[in-house]
């Protein structure tokens, strides 16, 4: 299997909304973003799939070293071998990839966040930086597009947090800020035991409103000159906001199930942005 086949398989197998947005890119950009997405999946899977924190830490340390070696011209992992042509073509920085790994490491040390400001730092590393790299690969020409990418990445991550509350609870993690749990009188043990209540719904409505406002802020920041090149991000925004609305419509039944969109619906939403410029 070639490095290119490896990353393609890794990206397609995830079933992620990102995959549908990549389909409409020209081949060189599609190859670069697919390799970058596969890199993100590799390091994220270390935390989610390795049960021993010590082993996970060792694996992430290996990834830190592998990224450094790849930038020195000695990539050994197929993901880094597939990614390096895109690194050179689109001016990606080693620091950006190292930040993504550092964000995943936070999951080994931290299972709670005191307030939204603390959560934002984590989101910046695992999602904002991902948005920043993606924008470069998509064809960013304006400096302000980086700010848009950071904000959109934050909106995506908050949507993921809302969707995954139940799954995260089973891993002993709560990404909802502690002071906001207190504000809505939702106890941490209730989340960990996955108890659905009116208080929990009120808390989640608050989280969803914040996510929606971040989508609006992000879209307002996107310079008109880059709107065409950043269509893949707009496709993902359409898919993610539709998912968020589905979760809202189902009264945040996220503690015992994973609410998702069908592949066909994701493709349709992506196509609408590509063909019509429609975000609905």
Q: What is the pLDDT of residues 76-125, one digit of tens each?
A: 999 999 999 999 999 999 999 999 999 999 999 899 999 999 999 999 99
Residue 124 CA to residue 63 CA, distance in Å, equals 19
pTM, whole model, 2 decimals? 0.93
Cβ(154)–Cβ(127) under 8 Å?
yes
To the question of domain 110-279 being in CATH 2.30.110.10, the answer is: no
Is 18 within 8 Å of 10 (Cβ atoms)?
A: no
Outline which parts of the chain fall under CATH 1.10.600.10.
Answer: 110-279
Question: Nearest 5 degrees, angle CA 270-CA 272-CA 275?
Answer: 110
**pLDDT score for 72:** 97
Contact in structure between 229 and 138 (CB atoms under 8 Å):
yes
pLDDT in tens, 145-167: 999 999 999 999 999 999 999 99
CA distance 156 to 190: 25
pLDDT in tens, 226-277: 999 999 999 999 999 999 999 999 999 999 999 998 888 988 998 898 887 6
pLDDT value at residue 15: 67
């Amino acid at each position: 299997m070639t490095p290119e086949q490896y990353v393609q398989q890794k990206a397609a197998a995830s079933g992620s909304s990102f995959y549908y947005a990549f389909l409409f890119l020209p081949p060189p950009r599609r190859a670069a973003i697919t390799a970058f997405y596969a890199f993100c999946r590799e390091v994220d899977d270390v935390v989610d799939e390795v049960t021993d924190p010590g082993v996970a830490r060792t694996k992430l340390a290996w990834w830190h070293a592998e990224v450094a070696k790849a930038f020195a011209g000695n990539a050994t992992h197929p993901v880094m071998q597939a990614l390096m042509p895109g690194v050179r073509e689109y001016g990606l920085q080693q620091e950006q990839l190292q930040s993504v790994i550092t964000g995943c490491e936070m999951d080994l040390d931290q299972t709670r966040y005191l307030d939204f400001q603390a959560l934002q730092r984590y989101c910046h590393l695992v999602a904002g930086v991902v948005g920043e790299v993606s924008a470069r690969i998509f064809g960013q020409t304006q400096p302000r597009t980086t700010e848009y990418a950071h904000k959109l990445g934050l909106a995506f991550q908050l949507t993921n947090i809302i969707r995954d509350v139940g799954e995260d609870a089973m891993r002993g993690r709560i990404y909802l800020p502690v002071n906001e749990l207190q504000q809505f009188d939702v106890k941490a043990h209730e989340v960990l035991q996955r108890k659905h209540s009116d208080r929990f719904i009120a808390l989640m409505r608050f989280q969803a409103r914040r996510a929606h406002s971040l989508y609006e802020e992000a879209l307002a920041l996107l310079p008109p000159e880059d709107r065409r090149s950043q269509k893949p991000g707009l496709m993902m925004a359409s898919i993610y906001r539709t998912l968020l609305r589905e979760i809202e419509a189902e009264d945040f039944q996220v503690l015992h199930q994973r609410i998702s969109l069908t592949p066909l619906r994701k493709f349709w939403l992506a196509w609408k942005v590509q063909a019509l410029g429609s975000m609905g």
